[in-house]
Amino acid sequence: MEARLIEIEIKLSYAEDTLETLNRTVFRQQEQIDQLQQLVIRLSNQLQEMAPPELRELGEERPPHY
């Protein structure tokens, strides 16, 4: 019985370590996603500012096939 309890405790310890590693990974990935979203927004704004006025107006219209 005691050996089985020790085995379960060892497995739990590994599971907790794996969970913590996964949590850190997900946290870092979310930070990267947030940074990339901010970059996409900035780049989109820069492109809109660089476009000639007539293209900016066309970008808001839907093409006739919609």
In the chain, the largest separation of any two C-alpha atoms, in whole Å, equals 79
pLDDT band at residue 61 using 50, 70 and 90 as cut-offs: low
Q: What is the pLDDT of residues 19-60, one digit of tens each?
A: 999 999 999 999 999 999 999 999 999 998 888 877 666 555
What is the pTM (predicted TM-score) of this model? 0.65
Specify the pLDDT at position 58.
Answer: 58
d(C-alpha 63, C-alpha 47), whole Å: 20
Sign of CA dihedral 27, 30, 36, 42: negative
Stretch 7-29: mean pLDDT, rounded? Answer: 98
Domain boundaries, the chain: 2-60
Residue 56 contacts residue 48 (beta carbons within 8 Å): yes
